[in-house]
């Protein structure tokens, strides 16, 4: 363990390196796609300096960069950061490395809201709103049920309630899929459940940014106090930390951030589970360090996965598929690495 700690970069240097890697990935993603843009042209467009190397393509390049690819790239990075931060917060609250944003039924509730919206033929904006309301409603239901369970451990009560209600919501989603039109509604439901950034617009990006920040800001504000969750309840009280308020702030922040991402991009798994493990391996166990490193790693990983998904084949590969294919081996590798440490 000591050797492992000795090989770690100081976390400010680690954060700076990840931030530089994220900027490089953003520039690469902005130029990648069926309409390829050289790096020099991407930089020229971003700083607003005149014509491109091919002036005939200037108008098209502006449209692709600012209205299509730009919102998508920024949304994928923001979704990755929000999901990773939510996973780190929930793993700290429940003291469980297997906790993820869908533990409290957030993803299932948001998915049910969106699936119902697609089934009823609502507009895209209404579907996103239904997903947002569904996620918040699911967490409220889990919290209500968890508080009345006759268990002394409140955390265990919430986990059990989340598992049960998440399973019930999953059954309702399956029921709606069974009733949906197999030629129109069912494909739309299936593709939405796999996640996608293809339809992200500037308006979607603004809404995603606002609601994600509303969830991430509380996590950032309490990040120094969150290390107290690793202590016993008596030790926490001796330090003067109000444990119920701290847990509520972390759970509510993680829920709001996750629901915003699901409403904008659909269900994308594994980021909230795997990335906090990697962050703890790189930066140590302190939540104050794990949170920013998780956000940077999550943004970088999600951005690379989305860029890969729209580049490796003629048909776009949903990010939910790639996160599962990448996440499972990475999780095994991290567990083996942690065991060796």
pLDDT tens digit sequence for 13-50: 999 999 999 999 999 999 998 888 888 888 888 887 65
Contact 73, 303 (CB under 8 A): yes
Neighbours of 169 (CB within 10 A): 23
**Nearest residue to 86 (alpha-carbon basis) of 278, 325, 300, 276:** 276
Q: What distance in Å separates the CA atoms of residue 230 and residue 248, rounded to the nearest whole number?
A: 16
Higher pLDDT, 240 or 229: 229
Structure token digits, residue 299: 């943004």
User: In terms of C-beta density within 10 A (0-12 exposed, 13-18 middle, 19 or more buried), how is residue 32 classed?
Assistant: middle
**Host domain of residue 12:** 2-340
- Work out how many domains the chain is built from and give that number: 1
User: pLDDT class for 307, splitting at 50, 70, 90?
Assistant: very high
Under DSSP, the state recorded for 34 is S
Quick: pLDDT tens for 182-218: 988 999 898 888 888 988 999 999 999 999 999 999 9
Q: What distance in Å separates the CA atoms of residue 50 and residue 43, rounded to the nearest whole number?
A: 11
Q: Average pLDDT over the chain, rounded to whole?
A: 86
Query: Nearest 10 degrees: CA dihedral of 325, 33, 302, 267?
Result: -70
Contact 189, 177 (CB under 8 A): yes
- Token look-up 């770690």 returns 8
Neighbours of 191 (CB within 10 A): 16
Residue 176's pLDDT is 96
CATH number at residue 9: 1.10.3470.10
Q: What distance in Å separates the CA atoms of residue 140 and residue 127, rounded to the nearest whole number?
A: 20
Neighbours of 1 (CB within 10 A): 6
Is 237 a residue whose pLDDT tops 50? yes
Instruction: Map residue 36 onto helix, strand or coil.
Output: coil
Residue 2's pLDDT is 41
At residue 194, φ and ψ (nearest 5 deg) are -85, -10
Under DSSP, the state recorded for 225 is G
Distance of CA 270 to the CA centre of its chain: 9
Is 153 a residue whose pLDDT tops 80? no
């Amino acid at each position: 363990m000591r050797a492992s700690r000795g090989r770690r970069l100081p976390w400010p240097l680690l954060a700076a390196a990840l931030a530089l890697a994220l900027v490089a990935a953003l520039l690469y993603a902005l130029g990648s796609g069926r309409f390829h843009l050289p790096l020099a042209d991407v930089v020229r467009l971003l700083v607003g300096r005149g014509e491109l190397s091919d002036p005939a393509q200037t108008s098209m390049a502006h449209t692709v960069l600012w209205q299509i690819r730009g919102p998508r790239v920024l949304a994928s990075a923001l979704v990755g950061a929000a999901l990773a931060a939510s996973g780190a917060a929930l793993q700290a609250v429940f003291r469980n490395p297997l906790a993820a944003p869908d533990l409290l039924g957030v993803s299932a509730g948001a998915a049910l809201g969106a699936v119902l919206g697609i089934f009823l033929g609502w507009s895209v904006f209404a579907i996103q709103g239904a997903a947002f309301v569904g996620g918040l409603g699911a967490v409220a239901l889990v919290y209500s049920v968890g508080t009345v369970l006759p268990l002394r451990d409140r955390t265990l009560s919430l986990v059990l309630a989340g598992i049960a209600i998440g399973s019930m919501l999953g059954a309702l989603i399956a029921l709606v899929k069974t009733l949906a039109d197999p030629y129109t509604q069912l494909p739309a439901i299936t593709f939405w459940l796999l996640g996608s950034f293809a339809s992200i617009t500037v308006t979607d990006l603004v809404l995603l940014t606002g609601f994600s920040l509303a969830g991430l800001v509380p996590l950032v504000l309490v990040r120094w106090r969150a290390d107290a969750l690793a202590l016993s309840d008596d030790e926490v009280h001796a330090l003067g930390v109000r444990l119920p308020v701290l847990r509520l702030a972390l759970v509510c922040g993680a829920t709001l951030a996750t629901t915003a991402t699901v409403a904008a991009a659909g269900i994308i798994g594994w980021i909230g589970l795997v990335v906090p493990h990697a962050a703890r391996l790189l930066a140590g166990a302190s939540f104050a360090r794990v949170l920013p490193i998780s956000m940077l790693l999550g943004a970088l990983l999600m951005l690379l996965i989305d860029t890969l998904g729209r580049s490796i084949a003629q048909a776009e590969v949903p990010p939910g598929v790639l996160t599962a294919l990448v996440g499972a081996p990475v999780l095994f590798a991290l567990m083996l690495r942690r065991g060796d440490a």
